[in-house]
């Protein structure tokens, strides 16, 4: 694992150096072509690097915030969505991240998820559409994929690489516009005419090729990282089928949604804007059916080696580096979880209610069965029910069963036996207890209450 | 969200775990693609002309004043064929459909078919059960008539 991260860092470093070199070359040739002297070229390099430095600084200090704001994400607490937090917590432990990432919720019917940040300061964002469609195993697969990105340092790298690509595209674009609207470029150098002409042509060639090249580089490593994150997800969850069926569900539902920001799109688990584009060199994500086929053909275990074997079987070549595969730890597959799943409507209502609470909606229940939710800016608290005509008073919504973290623990006696049993929390949640369970205390995943078990 | 017609705040109505945004002053409803999907999913109905209209089709209308409550872009008008035959406003970026009072009435009246207009119509019929048939329906009537 650590070997893999180190190899990743090394490769990333080489890539960043390559891209910076490309940026410098573009800056130099544009500078020289415009000014006609060597100093002009150096100045071009200076401008290019300065531009990149400014962009990097912005991305480093406020990038996560900007990204989340663009996507319209709200931060949520454990008491809002305990099940989601449980999944994130489990996967944090499985992935060995030093700190649990912050969890954000995005209101969008398109099912998707993305992660930003580095292992010490990470954020996972999921959409309401994702939560309403996926069951626990599938959600776990998706969260593990995102945490895989974080623990492989992908988010950091992709932001940095994205910034350099952006700078290259920006410079090339500025050069083109300068050519088109800025009139003729005059030679100022003494006798430097020929060198300038050559560099001028070089600048044109670079201005055409550099953005294409930079994007190709960026997309190629983006795709490779997606496979790696898939492999990590299989390993963390020990259940590749979860991610595979989640990817299928996401793909059938994601396309056709166009209300996604272009900036955030490549960060999602499946690129929602790539709906009708054929898979090619410019895709940020590998084709979904291939990802699913690889995950499904993993047999006998969930380790990196098994993922590599499955990848070879499907595509005929390898994808993971030798250092990753050196990790020979056996990771057995697990069976799907046997919990009864809440319906799609339950899950959607839960996710939407979190957002309503976050924006301060007032809620009232009419006796005819209609629930009325009113935005805080509405002004009135007595609403005529449109369904039956009765007057309903709305009031601020309270979180379900406030987290009773410091309440005295509840005592529950567990009937003796060697099979699976369950413990009922006063909040109504039923907690399954495995036959091997030996601890004296558990915490309810729904309300956070401590429960002492007398065996 | 603001009503595309009268610019006042929309309220959210929830019945049987399905939500709908509703304008209390003009009686129009805003149809969210997620809720429509949920409705179809729960009723095991097949996507019909209305959910198709949500994604494709529609044309710009000269003098269109109605804007999508989510993204504020001018909405397109879509003719939904099949029962009921109505013209609704659709967000060009797929944020949802706007059905005004008259269109909603037509939908409720046509409820009972096998199309998803039927599933939605049945739902709206239950939600707005205090409503009269649209032919004789005047706007002020809705909400004052208490249903049994």
Report whether the peptide linkage leading into residue A333 is cis, meaning its omega lies within 30 degrees of zero: no
Percent of chain A past pLDDT 70, that is, above it, reads 80
Give the tens place of pLDDT for each residue, A102-112: 999 988 887 88
Look at B146 and A390 and tell me if their CB atoms are within 8 Å: yes
Alpha carbon B123 to chain centroid, angstroms:
11
- Chain A residue with Cα closest to B13: A372
Report CB contact under 8 Å: A370, B19: no
- Whether B27 sits inside 8 A of A386 (CB atoms) is yes
The predicted structure's pLDDT at residue A284: 66
**Structural contact between residues B96 and B32, judged by C-beta atoms closer than 8 angstroms:** yes
- Look at residue A23 in the predicted model and tell me its pLDDT: 84
Predicted pLDDT of residue A117: 81
Is residue B68 a contact partner of residue B90, using CB atoms and an 8 Å limit?
A: no
- Cβ pair B34:A257 closer than 8 A: no
Specify the higher pLDDT residue, A252 or A401. A252
* HSE-CB for B117 with a 13 A CA cutoff: 24
Within 10 A of B33 (CB to CB), how many other CB atoms are there?
22
Confidence at residue B111, expressed as pLDDT on a 0 to 100 scale = 65
Whether pLDDT at A369 is above 60: yes
Cβ within 8 Å, pair A345-B17: yes
B-chain CB neighbours of A374 within 8 Å are: 9, 11-12
Which residues in chain B show pLDDT less than 70?
A: 82-84, 111-117, 130-148
**Given a cut of 70, is residue A431 above it in pLDDT?**
yes
Task: Find out whether A384 and A390 touch, Cβ atoms under 8 Å.
Answer: yes
Q: Six-digit token pair at A144? A: 């593990």
What residues in A contact B18, CB-CB < 8 Å?
Answer: 345
Q: A397 or A391: whose pLDDT is higher? A: A391
- What chain B residue is nearest to A386 in terms of C-alpha separation? B143
pTM for the model stands at 0.73
Tell me the nearest-neighbour CA distance from B27 into chain A, angstroms. 9
Distance of alpha carbon A138 from alpha carbon A446, whole angstroms: 20
Cβ(A236)–Cβ(A95) below 8 Å? yes
CB A92 within 8 A of CB A147: yes
Q: Which neighbouring-strand residues pair with A412?
A: A453
State yes or no: ipTM above 0.90.
no
Instruction: Name the catalytic one among A90, A107, A138, A146.
Output: A146
Q: What is the pLDDT of residues A6-44, one digit of tens each?
A: 666 777 788 788 888 888 888 888 887 777 777 888 888
According to DSSP, the residues that pair with A123 across neighbouring strands are A102, A116
Minimal Cβ distance to A345: which of B27, B42, B145 = B42
What does the pLDDT look like over A200-236, one tens digit per residue? 787 788 778 877 777 777 777 777 788 888 988 998 9
- For residue range A116-140, list pLDDT tens digits in order: 888 888 889 998 888 988 888 999 9
CA distance B143 to B148: 13
Is A146 an annotated catalytic residue? yes
pLDDT at A20: 83
Q: State CA A413 to chain mean position distance.
A: 42
């Amino acid at each position: 694992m650590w070997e893999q991260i180190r190899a990743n860092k090394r490769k990333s470093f080489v890539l960043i150096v390559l891209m910076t070199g490309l940026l410098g070359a573009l800056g130099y040739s544009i500078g020289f072509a415009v000014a006609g002297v060597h100093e002009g070229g150096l100045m071009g390099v200076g401008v290019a690097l300065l531009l990149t430095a400014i962009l990097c600084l912005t991305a480093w200090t406020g990038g996560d915030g900007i990204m989340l704001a663009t996507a319209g994400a709200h931060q949520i607490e454990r008491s809002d969505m305990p099940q989601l937090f449980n999944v994130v917590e489990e996967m944090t432990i499985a992935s060995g991240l030093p700190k649990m990432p912050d969890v954000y919720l995005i209101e969008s019917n398109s099912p998707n998820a993305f992660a930003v940040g580095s292992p010490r300061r990470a954020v996972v964002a999921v959409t309401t559409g994702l939560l309403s469609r996926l069951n626990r195993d599938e959600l776990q697969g998706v969260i593990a994929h995102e945490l895989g990105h974080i623990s492989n340092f992908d988010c950091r790298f992709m932001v940095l690489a994205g910034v350099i690509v952006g700078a290259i595209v920006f410079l090339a674009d500025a050069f083109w516009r300068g050519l088109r609207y800025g009139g003729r470029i005059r030679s100022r150098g003494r006798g430097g005419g020929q060198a300038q002409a050559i560099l001028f042509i070089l600048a044109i060639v670079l201005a055409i090729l550099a953005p294409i090249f930079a994007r190709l580089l960026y997309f190629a490593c983006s795709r490779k990282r997606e496979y790696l994150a898939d492999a990590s997800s299989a390993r963390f969850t020990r259940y590749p089928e979860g991610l595979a069926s989640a990817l299928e569900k996401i793909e059938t539902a994601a396309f056709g949604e166009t209300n996604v920001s272009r900036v955030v799109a490549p960060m999602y688990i499946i690129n929602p804007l790539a709906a009708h584009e054929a898979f090619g060199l410019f895709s940020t994500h590998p084709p979904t059916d291939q990802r699913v086929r690889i995950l499904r053909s993993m047999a006998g275990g969930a380790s990196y080696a098994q993922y590599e074997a499955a990848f070879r079987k499907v595509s005929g070549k390898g994808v993971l580096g030798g250092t990753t595969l050196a990790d020979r730890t056996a990771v057995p597959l697990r069976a799907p979880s046997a919990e009864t799943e809440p319906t799609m409507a339950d899950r959607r209502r839960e996710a939407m209610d979190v957002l309503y609470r976050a924006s301060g909606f007032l809620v009232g229940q009419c006796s005819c069965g209609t629930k009325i939710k009113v935005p805080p800016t509405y002004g009135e608290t007595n609403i005529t029910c449109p369904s039956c005509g009765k007057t309903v008073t709305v009031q601020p919504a309270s979180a379900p069963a406030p987290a009773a973290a410091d309440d005295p623990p509840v005592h529950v006696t567990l009937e003796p036996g060697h099979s699976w049993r369950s413990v009922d929390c006063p909040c109504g949640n039923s907690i399954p207890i495995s036959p091997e369970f030996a601890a004296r205390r558990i915490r309810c995943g729904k309300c956070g209450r401590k429960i002492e078990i007398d065996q | 969200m603001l009503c595309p017609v009268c610019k006042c705040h929309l309220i959210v109505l929830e019945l049987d775990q399905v939500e709908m945004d509703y304008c209390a002053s003009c009686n129009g409803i805003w149809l969210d693609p997620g809720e429509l999907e949920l409705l179809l999913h729960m009723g095991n109905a097949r996507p019909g002309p209305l959910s198709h209209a949500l994604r494709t089709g529609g044309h710009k209308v000269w003098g269109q004043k109605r804007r999508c409550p989510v993204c504020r872009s001018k909405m397109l008008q879509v003719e939904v064929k099949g029962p009921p035959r109505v013209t609704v406003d659709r967000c060009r970026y797929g944020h949802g459909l706007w059905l005004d009072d008259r269109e909603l009435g037509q939908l409720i009246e046509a409820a009972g078919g096998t199309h998803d207009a039927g599933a939605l119509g049945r739902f709206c019929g239950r939600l707005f059960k205090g409503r009269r048939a649209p032919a004789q329906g005047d706007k002020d009537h809705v909400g004052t008539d208490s249903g049994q």
